Chains A and B, each alone.
Chain A
Amino acid sequence: MARRSHVQTTLNGETVEFLCEPRQSLLEVLRDELHLTGAKEGCNNGNCGACSVILDGRLVNSCLVLGVETEGKSVETIEGVADPDKLHPIQDAFLENAALQCGICTPGFIMSAKALLDENPNPTEHEVRYWLAGNLCRCTGYDKIVRAVLDAAAAE
């Protein structure tokens, strides 16, 4: 087994430390070392977006980032999106619009949508579709997801 490196990062606003092998992706670190299983592995090669997280303000596939690369950086995951006593407007909009079926892609879509609305609070339908094109959903046909993100933008 490769030697494990010590990493300190900011995760959902809290400082965390962990040990990981250099070959472990951020997705593996989140799921296997930190037990945050909200980010999902759908493909492990950056094509499905189910593992989307926000790294220093930028949307990334956590399967394409190494755990050791997060040293000194800030990571936002699905577990940090809601306040303790209320959901984020994007989460509310997903529930109101029935924008999930099986739910496996939902954390990734919510992170992508959050990154979009953080940057562009009033996107057009085309901008939403363009921004979310890196996230695959096989259940919904995307109609209700796109509506949910547009609704969340209007509500914010």
Chain B
Amino acid sequence: MLENKEYKVIGTRPIRHDGVDKVTGRAVYGADFQAAGLLHGRVLRSPHAHARIISIDTSRAEALPGVKGVVTTKDLPDAGDKVADLGEGAVNLKHLCDNILASDKVLYKGHAVAAVAATNPHIAEEACTLIDVGYEVLPPVLEVRQAMEPDAPLLHEHLRTTSLGETAEEPSNVASHIQHKLGDPEKGFAEADVIIEREFVTGTVHQGYIEPHNATAHYNQDGQLTIWCSTQGAFTVREQVAEILQYPISKIKVVPMEIGGGFGGKISVYIKPVAALLAKKTGKPVKVLMNRADVFEGTGPTPASFIRVKMGATNDGKITAAEAYLAFEAGAYPGSPVGPGAMCIFAPYNIENVIIDGYDVVVNKPKTAPYRAPGAPNAAFGSETVVDEIAEKLGIDPLEIRLLNAAKEGDRRADGPVHPRIGCIETVEAAKAHPHYTAPNGKKHHGRGVASGYWFNIGLESSVTINVNSDGTINLIEGSTDIGGTRASIAMQAAEVLGIPAESVNPSVVDTDSVGYTAVTGGSRTTYATGYAAYEAAQDVKAQMIARAAKLWEVDAANVQFADGEFSSINGKEEQISFRDLCARLGETGGPIVGSGTVNPGGAGGAYATHVVDVVVDEETGKVDILRYTAVQDAGKAIHPSYVEGQIQGGAVQGIGWALNEEYIYNAEGEMTNASFLDYRMPTCLDLPMIDAIIVEVPNPGHPYGVRGVGEVPIVPPMAAIANAIYDAIGVRMTELPMSPDRLLKAMGKI
């Protein structure tokens, strides 16, 4: 079993390999990239939320001294109605292209319309003001329920609802309707003694990474296109750019620079194809940078949603049925994360009778993009609040009701899959046993809340190559961009196999020409899948080293064993050589050793989290302060516990921001009125206490060291946990996010 395994490197806390570069300012991020003859690009964006483009005249911009090229949708190849599969499911290519540079319509304020390359960024910006675009302004649709009305203005005249495999005849803003059903919900509700049904509304929120999007592109005379950029996945950039530009992937090299946060928001491309178009037009390298308003208005946030949850339970706390209606805003083009939301919503529970309906709906807002456990936080805000209310009605402790109904190995999720070994029960038990949960909590306007969350995690493809150095170290070549310390967590898995310290591994994240295909840093997959590939590559090195030792000693490889960094012979001869000493003898025993590992593992193993939070509500102002926060999570096996804690703490705090402050605020014309870090209020360190991260380890049988993805699930519980704490404090159920002071004051009847 994995449970009692002792490790030498795994579970320790070495200094990350890229750490010194990052604390001294030397690490090179996308915007830091320089090239001789570099031009600077700037994108012109739509001032309207919904309009038909009548004309685009770029002649005045082109005449401005310093301007070297202007591009519009006409510079993109004709997309037709092709459907492209970009590793995230099928995507309509016209939608993809239109989101890069609008063709017939603009569908949100901030939608890219044209772009300029000039000798400096100020000239490029000035030139954008000289592009004349004729618009026929149309009424915007800004909210999911409004967009679903039969008489709502249509974003796409061709869009028809696909519902359970059938396509409707009339156009609609509803792109699709999905349904999952388990058991007999009607019967389940009939068996219930208590039924709670509530409606919830959540706002549009942004990932809020501190580094804006950036891209520098250059075409060589032989047609080779190179793109230097910040991205969560160099290979997905290559695929998307190839599809959008209709250019062979073999002629595109993507160089991932250091990346300043992503959280899902740096998977879709926006300005990368634009930089390429400008580079082609000018024959020079072109760097395009977004500013912060561009990031808010022109890149994918995570959707606002309308959710209805109904759950029923017997008097002894058994949940007998659950029903959910999830309507998610996709933004301008179809593709909201309502699917994952529907997969996760009741996953912490074993419920026999479930029905879940999900709707993907277009509105005049930026096309949504993944954000940390996409869809699951919206859904859990609804379900975890309703579970809390059921527990209250039945007089059962809220963690106890979770234990009574907890999902476990062998139980079926409502959308089909059967759970493998999971740590749902263990996380709830750890929360219940934590001193935070048993600490006194009775002061006026103080409250405590709990909530659980689930994220399924993904595997996907990863490749790792290991080159063995003569001094006993290894160079580990990988394709996973490092957003949160994964050079360390991947290197440590190779080090464990080879019995060497983490410091003896030199990890490099390289371009798409230099490593095998590797999927995005996302889906909580990097330490799991790329770590798995590193394990396989290290096993390959180990096997080759054993063969070299056998050759040295003239024995059969089967008679060589490797333990604690030493090769030794068994069966007769008494020979021994350290990993380090054998590394120095590779030349004489046959030449260099290169190990490789490629994986596409299926056993990602789902992750569970349970959070406990104490709040105080200011009765005068409606402001909620977080007094204490404890986040418990099953990591399977924490490779580098500090960075696992970091993921838990960071996810919890993003959730706190989502719960209390963050939302896109729109006016009636569909303009976001708070597109800055001053007005889109993310938590600062003054808003927070320490975040106590508790790691539970229920090893994942789908990974050699038991790793489960850890990055996403910590953002799932906070909104409901805080809503439940607010209820405990002031006796009001909050059903709308964010739970900002004005909403609190309204809920308390003060305004």
Chain A residues with Cβ below 8 Å from B649 are 140-144
Is B135 interfacial (CB-CB < 8 Å)? no
Tell me, in angstroms, the Cα distance from A128 to B19 when the chains sit together: 22
Contact yes or no, A138 B685, CB < 8 A: no
Is B209 interfacial (CB-CB < 8 Å)? yes
Tell me, in angstroms, the Cα distance from A8 to B645 when the chains sit together: 46
Within the complex, which residue of B261, B485, B693 is in contact with A138, where a contact is CB–CB below 8 Å?
B261
Contact yes or no, B210 A100, CB < 8 A: no
Given A40-B260, A98-B13, A102-B483, A141-B691 contact (CB < 8 Å): yes
Contact yes or no, A138 B208, CB < 8 A: yes
Given A137-B210, A145-B685, A82-B260 contact (CB < 8 Å): no
Within the complex, which residue of B16, B261, B262, B683 is in contact with A98, where a contact is CB–CB below 8 Å?
B16
Tell me, in angstroms, the Cα distance from A140 to B676 when the chains sit together: 21
Scan residues 100-145 of chain A and give those whose CB is less than 8 A from a CB of chain B.
100-107, 110, 128-130, 132-145
Contact yes or no, A98 B646, CB < 8 A: yes
Contact yes or no, A142 B120, CB < 8 A: no
Would you give the shortest CB distance from A49 to chain B, in whole angstroms?
9
Contact yes or no, A136 B23, CB < 8 A: no
Is A79 interfacial (CB-CB < 8 Å)? yes
Tell me, in angstroms, the Cα distance from A51 to B14 when the chains sit together: 28
Scan residues 3-30 of chain B and give those whose CB is less than 8 A from a CB of chain A.
13, 15-16, 18-20, 22-29
Chain B residues with Cβ below 8 Å from A39 are 25
Residue of B nearest to A43 (CB): B292
Would you give the shortest CB distance from A74 to chain B, in whole angstroms?
18
Given A103-B22, A145-B685, A136-B210 contact (CB < 8 Å): yes
Contact yes or no, A40 B682, CB < 8 A: no
Within the complex, which residue of A23, A31, A102, A130 is in contact with B261, where a contact is CB–CB below 8 Å?
A102
Given A23-B122, A45-B292, A95-B23, A101-B684 contact (CB < 8 Å): no
Tell me, in angstroms, the Cα distance from A88 to B291 when the chains sit together: 32
Contact digits for B253-283, partner A, Cβ 8 Å, 1 yes 0 no = 0000011111100000000000000000000
Given A96-B15, A138-B650, A105-B24 contact (CB < 8 Å): no
Is B673 interfacial (CB-CB < 8 Å)? no
Scan residues 633-651 of chain B and give those whose CB is less than 8 A from a CB of chain A.
640, 642-643, 645-647, 649-651
Chain B residues with Cβ below 8 Å from A139 are 261, 483-484, 646, 650
Chain B residues with Cβ below 8 Å from A136 are 210, 677, 682, 684
Contact yes or no, B676 A103, CB < 8 A: no
Within the complex, which residue of B20, B208, B643, B654 is in contact with A87, where a contact is CB–CB below 8 Å?
B20
Contact yes or no, A98 B22, CB < 8 A: no
Tell me, in angstroms, the Cα distance from A102 to B521 when the chains sit together: 12
Is A68 interfacial (CB-CB < 8 Å)? no
Tell me, in angstroms, the Cα distance from A30 to B739 when the chains sit together: 41
Chain A residues with Cβ below 8 Å from B66 are 1
Is A70 interfacial (CB-CB < 8 Å)? no
Within the complex, which residue of A47, A78, A133 is in contact with B676, where a contact is CB–CB below 8 Å?
A47
Given A39-B25, A96-B15, A140-B646, A103-B685 contact (CB < 8 Å): no
Chain B residues with Cβ below 8 Å from A133 are 684-686
Contact yes or no, B650 A140, CB < 8 A: yes
Is B31 interfacial (CB-CB < 8 Å)? yes
The listed residue with most B CB atoms (<10 A of its CB), out of A79, A101, A132, A135, is A101
Chain B residues with Cβ below 8 Å from A110 are 23
Contact yes or no, A81 B24, CB < 8 A: yes
Scan residues 56-115 of chain A and give those whose CB is less than 8 A from a CB of chain B.
77-79, 81-82, 87, 91, 94-98, 100-107, 110
Residue of B nearest to A79 (CB): B25
Contact yes or no, A144 B642, CB < 8 A: yes
Tell me, in angstroms, the Cα distance from A142 to B653 when the chains sit together: 9
Given A138-B261, A141-B691, A107-B15 contact (CB < 8 Å): no
Given A45-B292, A139-B484, A77-B684 contact (CB < 8 Å): no
The listed residue with most A CB atoms (<10 A of its CB), out of B28, B207, B683, is B683
Contact yes or no, B483 A101, CB < 8 A: yes
Chain A residues with Cβ below 8 Å from B120 are 1
Residue of A nearest to B23 (CB): A91
Is A37 interfacial (CB-CB < 8 Å)? yes
Chain B residues with Cβ below 8 Å from A23 are 122
Tell me, in angstroms, the Cα distance from A39 to B25 when the chains sit together: 7
The listed residue with most A CB atoms (<10 A of its CB), out of B32, B208, B640, is B32
Within the complex, which residue of B20, B211, B653, B691 is in contact with A95, where a contact is CB–CB below 8 Å?
B20
Residue of A nearest to B214 (CB): A41
Contact yes or no, A78 B653, CB < 8 A: no
Chain B residues with Cβ below 8 Å from A94 are 19, 23
Contact yes or no, A40 B210, CB < 8 A: yes
Chain A residues with Cβ below 8 Å from B484 are 101-102, 139
Would you give the shortest CB distance from B235 to chain A, in whole angstroms?
20
Given A98-B646, A101-B483, A104-B29, A143-B260 contact (CB < 8 Å): no
Is B212 interfacial (CB-CB < 8 Å)? yes
Within the complex, which residue of B25, B647, B685 is in contact with A36, where a contact is CB–CB below 8 Å?
B25
Residue of A nearest to B654 (CB): A138
Is B678 interfacial (CB-CB < 8 Å)? yes
Residue of A nearest to B680 (CB): A47
Is A10 interfacial (CB-CB < 8 Å)? no
Given A44-B291, A129-B685, A143-B25 contact (CB < 8 Å): no
Chain B residues with Cβ below 8 Å from A42 are 210-212, 260, 292, 677
Is B344 interfacial (CB-CB < 8 Å)? no
Chain B residues with Cβ below 8 Å from A1 are 66, 120, 123
Tell me, in angstroms, the Cα distance from A44 to B22 when the chains sit together: 21
Is B690 interfacial (CB-CB < 8 Å)? yes
Would you give the shortest CB distance from B562 to chain A, in whole angstroms?
31
Is A35 interfacial (CB-CB < 8 Å)? yes
Tell me, in angstroms, the Cα distance from A96 to B642 when the chains sit together: 10
Scan residues 488-530 of chain B and give those whose CB is less than 8 A from a CB of chain A.
none
Would you give the shortest CB distance from A77 to chain B, in whole angstroms?
7
Is A50 interfacial (CB-CB < 8 Å)? yes
Tell me, in angstroms, the Cα distance from A98 to B16 when the chains sit together: 8
Contact digits for B63-76, partner A, Cβ 8 Å, 1 yes 0 no = 00010000000000
Contact digits for B450-487, partner A, Cβ 8 Å, 1 yes 0 no = 00000000000000000000000000000000011100
Contact digits for A22-39, partner B, Cβ 8 Å, 1 yes 0 no = 010000000100011111
Given A87-B23, A141-B649, A48-B677 contact (CB < 8 Å): yes
Within the complex, which residue of A35, A38, A100, A129 is in contact with B686, where a contact is CB–CB below 8 Å?
A129
Contact yes or no, B16 A107, CB < 8 A: no
Contact yes or no, A98 B210, CB < 8 A: no
Is A146 interfacial (CB-CB < 8 Å)? yes
Contact yes or no, A144 B292, CB < 8 A: no
Contact yes or no, A95 B19, CB < 8 A: yes
Chain B residues with Cβ below 8 Å from A101 are 261, 483-485, 643, 646-647, 650
| Other 12 A-B pairs with CB < 8 A, given A37-B32, A91-B24 | A37-B25, A38-B24, A40-B260, A43-B291, A47-B292, A77-B25, A102-B210, A103-B18, A136-B210, A141-B654, A145-B685, A147-B690
Cβ contacts A to B, 28 pairs, < 8 Å: A38-B25, A42-B210, A42-B211, A42-B212, A42-B292, A43-B292, A45-B676, A48-B292, A78-B25, A87-B23, A94-B19, A95-B15, A98-B485, A98-B640, A98-B643, A100-B23, A101-B485, A101-B650, A102-B484, A103-B22, A103-B27, A104-B260, A129-B688, A132-B686, A133-B684, A138-B208, A141-B653, A142-B649
Shortest beta-carbon contacts, A-B, top 10: A38-B25, A104-B260, A141-B653, A103-B22, A98-B642, A141-B649, A78-B25, A47-B677, A142-B685, A37-B32
Q: Which residues of B contact A (CB under 8 A)?
A: 13, 15-16, 18-20, 22-29, 31-32, 34, 66, 120, 122-123, 207-212, 258-263, 289, 291-292, 483-485, 640, 642-643, 645-647, 649-654, 676-678, 682-686, 688, 690-691, 693
Q: Which residues of A contact B (CB under 8 A)?
A: 1, 21, 23, 31, 35-45, 47-48, 50, 77-79, 81-82, 87, 91, 94-98, 100-107, 110, 128-130, 132-147
